[in-house]
Chain A
Amino acid sequence: MSQTRTIMIECLRYDPEQDQAPHYRTYEVPFTDEMSVLEGLQYIKDHLDGSLTFRWSCRMAICGSCGCMVNHQPILSCQSFLRDYYPARIRVEPLEHFPIVKDLVIDQSDFLGKLESVTPYLVPAQPLTPEDGPNLQTPRQIEDYLGYAQCINCLLCYAACPQYGLNNAFTGPAALALLARYNADSRDAGQKTRMEVVNAEEGVWGCTLVGLCSEVCPKHVDPARAINRNKINSTQDYFLRFLAPFGRGS
């Protein structure tokens, strides 16, 4: 067993039934080298203060539940390790740019609404049934969208995005990446529907290319690239509307 040390974890606390405003509380947490920030929080909940509230589930960076700010950086607490912060204390806060429900738990309903708004499913050119058999799709065609399909909806990109912080009407990185994922799929014919979201003021043009979304993404989705690609599509769409009376063909 690796050596046990002690780290100070300072957590933002906010109980909507008791507190007027958020405050901080610091806990002394013994840890070993392999312990994640999540395990630090679990230690607090199990042994020191059962009222500390946070979301978590898979503890292997795939369910997207445990995003939070550690020392002002958005991270997944399950794959960030206490050893990397020691001997400094760490400050754990809820993801930025979202309303706080309680302690480290944020209200994610705004994001879920945005995800729903981008027609996030395949729109086939003609209806298919399983009896038709699987579509063909080559590994190269899969490469066109697979990167964007890696998003775990952890919301770190929204917490990092200054544009979303200024104006949360912006559709935002993860939802726009998902939009790009379906648009880039060779089996999809739904581009036209999605262009409305892309072209809207809150769509791709809300992005000022800061690129922090791609930097903080734990799954290398690169939403900034997805948005940029959509800007090109959006520009083409704009000009094609002058050239062709019925807009862009799909």
Chain B
Amino acid sequence: MQVIQSDVVIIGGGGAGLRAAIAVAQEAPGLSVALVSKVVPMRSHTVAAEGGSAGVIHPDDSLDKHFDDTVSGGDWLCEQDVVEYFVGQCTREMIQLEQWGCPWSRRDDGSINVRFFGGMKSPRTWFAADKTGFHILHTLFQTSLQFPAIRRHDEFFCTDLLVEDGRLQGVLALCIATGEPVLFQCKAAVLATGGASRVFGQNTNAGIVTGEGMGMAYAQGVPLRDMEFVQWHPTALPGSGILMTEGCRGEGGILLNKDGHRYLQDYGLGPLDPWPRPRAMELGPRDRLSQAFWHEDQAGRTLQTPHGTAVHLDLRHLGEKKIMERLPMICELARTFAAVDPVTAPIPVRPAVHYTMGGVLCDVHGATPLPGLYAAGECSSVGIHGANRLGSNSLAELLVFGRAAGLSAARHARETHAASAALQAQAESRAAVHLDMLRREGGTRVARLRQRLHEIMEAGVGIVREGPRMARACEQLAELREQFRAGVALDDRGRAFNTEWLTAIELGHTLQVAEAMAHAALLRQESRGAHMRIDGFEARDDERFLCHSLIHSQGDAPPRVTHSPVTITRSQPRARVYGGAAQNQS
């Protein structure tokens, strides 16, 4: 087996992985970095982020406001010490990106322009029109090319983390073009593999967002945290799930039910006037908006479309000039994929899964409980999102914690000795398991297993949850995992660029991540943030559940869930209110 040695391996070439790689190359010179990604970095899902990234710079804004918005937005399930660090670093990272060439949208005088997003007291969102993630990703990728210490391994699919002597010492990957296993031997690794939204059928995410990074860490005994908190973005195109950015509402877009009524005023987000105003109506947080859709849908006040029910996102009153300047990609997407011109007609939208709030447990330095393993970005649970992530905090997270995790991994690499000799044998035996899949007869097709996964998750662990349905989903997921273990039917038995085989390996991880979500959800007998129950647990229960869920893998058996305390420094939990009620509170 080919062995590639480096000090730090970074798994994933999206925003967090690239930022981590640059941090090591720039701030820890002398160390070698292997950047291993299943796609060429600029294809990573960061590219699809639209609306923007948070950083306090507006004169009306403050770090305290960013802290408060984040903690209350997360329904007090955030690690407040981590949020404190985060808000203090965001603006630095936005400026760093500016100096690397990111084309942030500007005011006429050339200074940075910021826009409102949901749940914000002040405008805080740095944006590059409505292609913020695209520009951030390309800026990071292109910037990374000036550092010879970063060796890219594009289109290498990581399958396993390798642990010897209780610490991470290597990563097993398959070279996609040839199918040959490669051992990346290292002193430290940063997991930056993104979220797991493809666990669900209706989602805004790219096809690559399948959660295998979480699965790899979980399989090595690292707990996943707060996996029950899955974000439904309220405005995606029915069917395709393509995202219509929150920036639409940040710029003044409104949501209407089938009667043309701005229904959010009926769900604790009104009154309508004065409008626009922060943290009210369409500028409420995503969990509340998606839940309001569910109620409208139940009441029969949504529109019928060929791909399910929808409400209208109306931008027409913004006028063509503003729409084309601030939301050009939204226009193109709506025209191409929904046959609607937002200048002249409202866009039908409905909620779709968008983001995994939970992930691999790690601290403010990105360190996971497994020595040598660090995590950053959506695959991680560093603790800033709590039970509901605020829009604009995830791009900022990639940068702030990508850098932090990179630097921590570099420090660890400097203090660590060479790898143990047993590593290669472990890599060989894991590789044999994967290669064996190519030879097995019978089994179920990947597409059928995936379809079944989507059905189970949509029915059991959706926007609105009930005990018996979640319990059923847990059982069905156990059966599905059993079916997966019984064999996956592959048409393609070759090694070279066998995406069917890789998808099957990926699915093995995805199924475990789904199971972690369902079990954590079942045990949380309260409603908090994005986890909404309608079976007698409609209220938040701080007495029993002001705590994180930690999900521990039990191998082939269903997971074990424990709970751990939340770090509260200066914001005691209070009622989480938006709209008029929020103004009375503050």
Contact = CB atoms under 8 A, between A and B. Distances in A.
B458 interface: no
A57 B43 contact: yes
Given A18-B494, A122-B100, A62 B131 contact: yes
B220 to A, nearest CB: 27
B554 interface: no
A135 B479 CA distance: 57
B145 A101 contact: no
A107 B489 CA distance: 28
B492 A60 contact: no
Interface in A83-137: 101-103, 105, 107-108, 112, 115-116, 120-122, 124, 128-130, 132-137
B446 interface: yes
A53 B42 contact: no
A34 B348 CA distance: 15
A129 B110 CA distance: 19
A149 B110 CA distance: 18
B499 interface: yes
Contact of A134 (B98, B108, B498): B98
A63 B99 contact: no
Listed residue (B104, B112, B134, B499) with the most chain A CB atoms within 10 angstroms of its CB: B499
A65 interface: yes
A198 B45 CA distance: 32
Contacts of A102: 496-497
Interface string A59-89: 1111111000000000000010000000000
Contacts of B490: 50
Contacts, number: 163
Contacts of A120: 142, 145
Contacts of A108: 40
Interface residues of A, number: 64
Contacts of B93: 130
A205 interface: no
A34 B92 CA distance: 43
The A contact surface, by secondary structure, is loop
Given A51-B492, A101-B177, A134-B95, A149 B138 contact: yes
Contacts of B274: none
B143 interface: yes
A58 B48 contact: yes
Contacts of A2: 306
Given A65-B39, A101-B177, A116-B145, A134 B111 contact: yes
A138 B496 contact: no
Interface in A8-53: 15-18, 34, 45-47, 49-51, 53
A47 to B, nearest CB: 7
A16 B110 contact: no
Interface string B488-518: 0111101111111000000000000000000
Contact of B445 (A50, A56, A64): A50
Contacts of B44: 63
Nearest to B143: A121
A66 to B, nearest CB: 10
B490 to A, nearest CB: 6
Contact of A138 (B106, B242, B492, B497): B106
A146 B101 CA distance: 11
B154 interface: yes
| Chain B interface category by residue count | 35 or more
Listed residue (B101, B177, B329) with the most chain A CB atoms within 10 angstroms of its CB: B101
B92 to A, nearest CB: 5
B134 to A, nearest CB: 6
B336 interface: yes
A182 interface: yes
A187 interface: yes
Contact of A62 (B48, B101, B240, B496): B48
Contacts of B92: 130
A46 B494 CA distance: 17
Given A17-B494, A121-B143, A1 B101 contact: no
Listed residue (A128, A132, A150, A185) with the most chain B CB atoms within 10 angstroms of its CB: A150
A152 interface: yes
B106 A58 contact: no
B207 A56 contact: yes
A63 B39 CA distance: 10
A139 interface: yes
B415 interface: no
A105 B206 contact: no
A200 interface: no
Contact of A112 (B39, B154, B496): B154
Interface in B89-121: 92-96, 98-101, 103-106, 108-112
Contacts of A150: 131
B447 interface: yes
Contacts of B447: 45-47, 50
A133 B104 CA distance: 14
Contacts of A142: 103, 105-106
B47 interface: yes
Contact of B109 (A60, A128, A136): A136
Given A34-B239, A60-B333, A121 B135 contact: no
A133 B445 CA distance: 54
A62 B329 CA distance: 10
B113 to A, nearest CB: 9
Given A138-B110, A141-B110, A149-B138, A51 B491 contact: yes
Given A50-B500, A79-B337, 12 more contacts: A53-B498, A58-B206, A63-B42, A63-B43, A101-B496, A107-B177, A122-B100, A130-B93, A134-B112, A135-B99, A149-B103, A152-B47
24 contacts: A15-B494, A18-B494, A47-B447, A50-B445, A50-B491, A51-B492, A51-B498, A58-B45, A58-B207, A60-B243, A61-B336, A63-B43, A63-B47, A79-B337, A101-B177, A112-B40, A121-B100, A121-B101, A130-B93, A134-B98, A134-B99, A137-B110, A138-B108, A149-B135
